[in-house]
Structure 1
Amino acid sequence: MNIEEFRDYCLAKPHVEETLPFGEDTLVFKVAGKMFAMCSLNSYAEGVNLKCDPERAVELREQYHVIQPGYHMNKKHWNTIYPEASLPMGLLPELIDHSYELVVKCLPKKVRVELGV
């Protein structure tokens, strides 16, 4: 998955907004103001950050050397994934879905109802 595919996949999720809160190079994807994905526009191959269930995060890091604790993020809840490395086909979209669903699940019920998610 290249950066354009990553961006399109994230933006296809319901109610996602794309922002640049950390400067012109860092693209952040949010749902209801909560971040679920981020990447560098200039160095996408150096990793994307995705939220992850803590237990699954450890399992993924043990299984794939291209998945590491989140760079500049809470290492318990975020992974950095090197997207152009040797990931199995379909794993990155699955991890994006997982990240998005974790964030949506933690939104207040009122917000989820308002968004219809």
Structure 2
Amino acid sequence: MDIEEFRNYCLSMDKVTEKMPFGKFARRYDSILVFYILDHMFCFVDIDDFTSVTVKSTPDEVDVIRMNHSSVSNPLNQSLRHWIQLNLNGDVSDNEIYSLVRRAYDIIKAKYTPRRKT
């Protein structure tokens, strides 16, 4: 997997947008590319050092991922309960990374999609 393939995958999901918002906080974060659904982050990567993908998850799912894989680490944003960093070229396959990205998208979309009144 390369950064363009990953970016194209993320942008192929309905209504996904991308931004690089963290450079305003510190120059070292200029290369962090964030993917959004409904104006909320669901994953991000460093485009200059594409060695990991950080995804949103649930606390229970984060625990399961950590138990089943050794190539995970703490996310850049240090929110350990709801985010997990998946290291590329480790024991998390590309297909599983794509599935976890899709799961992150689904979590955020479900949380922030307005409910219809009946």
Category of TM-score, reference length = shorter chain = 0.7 to 0.9
Q: With structure 2 as the length reference, what TM-score do the two structures score?
A: 0.85
CA distance in 1, matches of 2:88, 2:12: 18
Q: 1:69–1:76: 8 Å Cα contact kept in structure 2?
A: no
Counterpart selection for 1:100 from 105, 108, 111: 105
Indicate whether 1:34 and 2:40 are aligned.
yes
Specify the alignment match of 2:84 in structure 1. Answer: 79
1:6-45 equivalences under 5 Å are 6-23=6-23, 24-45=30-51
Which 4+ runs in 1 deviate beyond 4 A?
A: none
Q: Partner of 2:74 in structure 1?
A: 69
Distance in structure 1 (CA, Å) of the matches to 2:106 and 2:12: 14
Gaps of 5+ in 2: 24-29
Matched pairs, number: 110
Aligned-residue offset at 1:73: 3.3
The alignment-based identity, stated in percent, is 25
Q: TM-score, normalised by structure 1?
A: 0.86
